[in-house]
Amino acid sequence: MQARHKLIIRQQLDTTLASLKATNTQVPVKGWIRAIREALGMSGRQLAQRLKVSQPRITRLEQDELTGSVTLKTMQQVAEALDCTFVYALVPRTSLEETVRGQARLVLQERMGRVAHSMLLEAQSLSAEEQQRSLEAAIDELVREMPRELWA
């Protein structure tokens, strides 16, 4: 995929994910299945009938959700039975652009550290300001190119 396309995709995803980040939703203490079921006034037996499973299976599903061992497929089925939409997302802590730039900075700082050491030995070192400008320009270029080595 061309670097230009990666940038467009990253920008579109950042826009989409910004709204999810704003929700900052916390999982209820008893889990989503039980919280929604109880809020609807639905018993475990009634949910079991809707899912065509045994009542003990509902108890197990609610426990599995809390331990993280419930499958996405099962969550979708339960959501349907509760007249809900199951939402699954990975929401980056920062923007995707910031993540890529941060990774580029790490890669380049490592590279520049080796180069700076060589230049220092040869009495050709850059000032701190020159080093910063050089680093920022290199980050821009690396982000623009998006080579495979960025995440190696």
Whole-structure pTM value: 0.73
How confident is residue 6, by pLDDT bands cut at 50, 70 and 90? confident
In a domain, residue 88? The reply is no
How confident is residue 73, by pLDDT bands cut at 50, 70 and 90? very high
DSSP 41: T
pLDDT digits (tens, 9 = 90+) for 28-45: 999 999 999 999 999 999
In a domain, residue 86? The reply is no
- pLDDT recorded at residue 106: 92
Identify the CA nearest to 106 among candidates 98, 117, 94, 95. Answer: 98
Q: Alpha carbon of 108 to those of 2, 23, 30, 37, 138: distances in Å? A: 21, 34, 46, 51, 7
Domain assignment of residue 107, given as a range: 96-151
pLDDT at 129 over 90: no
In a domain, residue 109? The reply is yes
Contact (Cβ atoms closer than 8 angstroms) between residue 86 and residue 76 = yes
Do 100 and 75 have their domain in common?
A: no
Q: What is the residue whose two structure tokens read 């910031």?
A: 98
Provide Rg for the chain, Cα atoms: 25
How many degrees, rounded to 5, is the angle at CA 83 between CA 21 and CA 71?
65
- pLDDT recorded at residue 121: 47
How confident is residue 126, by pLDDT bands cut at 50, 70 and 90? low
Mean pLDDT of the chain: 88
